[in-house]
Structure 1
Amino acid sequence: MDWKESVSLWQRLERARKPVMLYGMGNGADKILDELARRGIAAAGVFASDEFCRGQIFRGFRVINYKQARERFGEMIVLVAFGTQLPEVMERIKRIAREQELYIPDVPVYGGGIFDKDYLMLHEAELRRAYALLADGLSRETFRDMVEYKLSGKPEYLYRCESRPAEACKNILKLGNSECYVDVGAYTGDTIHDFIEMTDGYERIFAIEPDARNFARLKSAVEGFARIVCWNVAAHEREGRITFAQRGGRNSAASGAGWTVPANSLDNLLAGERVTYIKYDVEGEEAAALRGTEHIIREQKPRLLVSAYHRNEDLFRLPLLIKGMRPDYKVHLRHFPCIPAWDTNYYFV
């Protein structure tokens, strides 16, 4: 398997003569600025949409809007430093890309390291092993485009491999009306509502959410629905306690700083229960949660949906881990419209 991109985004930026401008603020921008500084690449500034830039200072830069940036610099390299699924925001990014050299750097949501040429060479054997497991053409195209995107930062690879959740539900999951669904990382109940809308009924639902504020909203969201059990616990590989950053949003996650919360394995929580479908979206702890489900996976072979974008290694580590538990799984990969490479999921059926 040969890769089209021979130069990484970071190599390209090291050679760039145009000013480098970040589009957006927040955690992603922090990580991009840190990596630029590590490589000795100077950022020229930060711009944001009109509604976000007024009076803002970010990392010592006065935040301006795109019009002001264009007036100041003319041609520039734009690095998109935030994530979005909103069609109007994605279209705005495409409009800027028609005027400027634009990239969307892939920086991991959790964990360290950058997916550059060195990383690709270090893990190429594992990437090839994971690619060989894929069961359909769209999965293989998505995998190749994902690697090319992570290396180059070019958004066209993300756009090219987009598919829709309805396609995965219809062609891969094929859910029935008697599912026993486990929502690991249930957030505020949105994915439970999605599941109920996709099916004509269900047998039971188990919802797992460690963040206290999210859990309160989850309980409220499922009130009135029958046969739903909610646990305010972190899914992990064994029973105990883990340190957890409770942010009251989608980015609540296991962390080196924060509160300690109870944790347990799905094998313990669901002992003796019938399980037909599990969704894992646990902010970088997918591998630990999967190891804590090994008995259920080996014994029952439930359908699995596993987020594959929180850590660099998720693209190859997660399918290799699960196929090691049940070699007879068929493996599929899908990316839904989102930038950067978020909402990229493995399906095991």
Structure 2
Amino acid sequence: MSRPGPKIPPLSLTDAQRAVLEGWVRRRSTAQALALRSRIVLECADGHSILEVSRRLGVAADTVRTWRRRFLERGPDGLADEPRPGVPRTITDADVERVIVKTLEEKPANATHWSTRSMAAATGMSQSAVSRIWRAFALAPHRAETFKLSTDPFFVDKVRDVVGLYLDPPERALVLCVDEKSQIQALDRSQPVLPMMPGVPERRSHDYVRAGTTTLFAALEVATGKVIGSLHRRHRAVEFKKFLAKLDREVPAGFEVHLILDNYATHKTPAVRKWLLAHPRFHLHFTPTGSSWLNLVERWFAELTQKKLKRGVHRSVQALERDIRTWLADWNDHPRPFAWTKTADDILDKVATYCQRISDSRH
């Protein structure tokens, strides 16, 4: 018969202690380790057992015991890291917090973002100290990313429709991602390109000569990765209708055809709608407005741009179109499908998180 373990002392919080711990949890500038320790103590104070807190927070039971004991012994101060051997610190926790809070909550008077030099001048610390603090807390004021939230009133329905086709396509049907890459420029450098040599990268002049443009209509087959493409000098409903006719010829007659495409005006003209009525096996699924990332053919366009167009040199539109056709044929000899992994719920949850962050940032 197993003997019961030692009885652990109860943990209770004063109002002041609870306010301090909850403040550490909510504050964005709090170190993640300190925020986790605060959550552990708050969970224990709410009457949860050590094993239950361990399961709820995803940490080891010994970790819960350690910080519970440290809090009982020294209160909130016990949640800080123990001093380590070596040269005494010259930068205190208060200094670190001051830099982090200033980075997250303020801007310099004469710039849009902080640099190590401006932050050092504002805090009286060295540039290297500021740099170390930023690296430790993954702060990069010089970097900025872009995003865009769709304003489509049917955003949720369209996301579920398109993602449903990716993850659970209908039987006896082909799902094709369709779009146009318009205004592809035939560019010739103003001076000859200097080839790569050992220790020297390829060099090219920064300016170029334009020789004209073309438009690539493409349909990516989701299941196999094969692409049906068509090049046209113009980008109108007339050309899109010709491309639909090409799809009708190349897709076997026994298959339904589901097209995922954006809301561009040429996709919805009366002529196109009339053509669709005469070809009932074609079904159109529109992505939400401002959500081109939902169309897998955009990923294929990125491959084409990076591997053929970005550093290509073409003295005429004919040469450009010849290169695109060659690259397309080579792709279809060895097609590689792009696997869609996110469910509609995953996408909608992430969008909801962004909306919450935007809402919070206005206060």
Scaled to the shorter chain, the TM-score interval is under 0.3
TM-score w.r.t. the length of structure 2 is 0.23
> Looking at CA atoms only, which structure, 1 or 2, has the larger radius of gyration?
2
Q: Which has the higher helix share?
A: 2
**Larger RCO (alpha carbons 8 Å, 6+ apart):** 1
TM-score of the superposed pair, with normalisation by structure 1: 0.24
Q: Greater share of strand residues, 1 or 2?
A: 1
